[in-house]
Amino acid sequence: MIEPPSPTLQLRIDEDALAENWCALNEVSGSARAGAAVKADCYGLGADRCVPVLRDAGCRDFFVAHWSEVAGVVAHVPAAQVAVLHGPISAAECEYAQATGAVPVINSVIQAELWAANGGGACHLMVDTGINRLGIRPEEADHPAIRMLDVSVLMSHLADADVDGAMNAQQLAAFENVRAHIPHRETSLSNSAGIGLGDDYRFDLTRPGLALYGGVPRRELASKIRQVAYPRAAILQTRWIEAGEAVGYNATFRATERMRIGVVSLGYADGILRAWGGAALAHEGRCLPILGKVSMDMIVLDLADAADIGEGDWVNLPYRLPDAAQQTGLSQYELLTLLGNRFART
């Protein structure tokens, strides 16, 4: 079968920036070592591309959410370095962990009992210190099923680390208290934002995710994190419209004068939601405002400042994550993980 032509969407991954981000976060982690959250296909940037970069930079601890994500990571690193945050909820998942060597994160008494009943072995244990998602409650620390676990890493997860609220200290105190009651080899509390809270929050292992891929969750990290993802799209068509003519669904933009516009092959099916309306793309430093509503596969641009641009030329979507989040109202996490599979990752 003939190979399809090159996509009209590209997502450049700056692998040097990714490696440097991990090294910076590892250094800021002080006496702790930095792991890497590589769930959701490395936050949408591609495990096959990103995991080897993180591995070669020195990372030895990788975290995914689903068992279905294990294979894509263990293609590049030993299974014993991969932990599954959602833990096992069936005998089949326990058997898969035993067969592959991936490490389950136990999140409940029921999961602890299930793990023991299906062979057991080394695991991590999540304690819920206030976010009320996964994890045992602190008062369950003395449950016989929990006491029987062979816990490699005792973990919890911060709910409010991106701001300076009282909850951070409350969770830290709760974690300090519970770790005295559960035998374990290492401890881990901090995500990307938690690393910025200081030494008290770093323990033995930090678990950055967002910041690896260019997100800046706290001001303390802003000077250390480089942009990693650079999306761009090709111009499909340029045309002139007259004063009074409208653009896009519901005619939310109407020209006040004759103007030249361009259509790019990018839209909300690619993760560029209608929240981008009113923002702008760029070409060689020139601003190309978005006109009207973002469509599923197309965005219309004002080409007033780019008279020379034509079909097949590439325009860039400004994607420094803190800036894009402020402009769109989307979180930095959403901006990364929404990027669709029609982008050719380069």
Residues marked as catalytic? 39, 249
Strands (E), 242-339: 246-247, 253-254, 259-264, 280-283, 286-291, 299-302, 314-316
DSSP per-residue codes, 193-237 = HHHTT-GGGT-SEE---GGGGT---SGGGTTT----EEEEEEEEE
Name the DSSP class of 133. S
Q: Which residue has the tokens 């409208």?
A: 246
Bridge partners (DSSP) of residue 84 are 64, 104
**What are the backbone dihedrals phi and psi of residue 66, each rounded to the nearest 5 degrees, phi first?**
-110, 150
Task: Give the C-alpha separation, 25 to 35, whole Å.
Answer: 9
Decide if 221 contacts 243 (C-beta within 8 A): no
Reduced to 3 states (helix: H, G, I; strand: E, B; else coil), residue 92 is helix
Decide if 210 contacts 43 (C-beta within 8 A): yes
Q: Which residues of 43-66 are buried (b: 16+ CB within 10 A; e: fewer)?
A: bbbbbebbbebbbebebebbbbee
Reduced to 3 states (helix: H, G, I; strand: E, B; else coil), residue 54 is helix
Residue spans of alpha helices (H) in the chain: 15-28, 39-43, 47-57, 70-74, 91-100, 109-117, 144-147, 166-179, 192-195, 321-328, 332-337
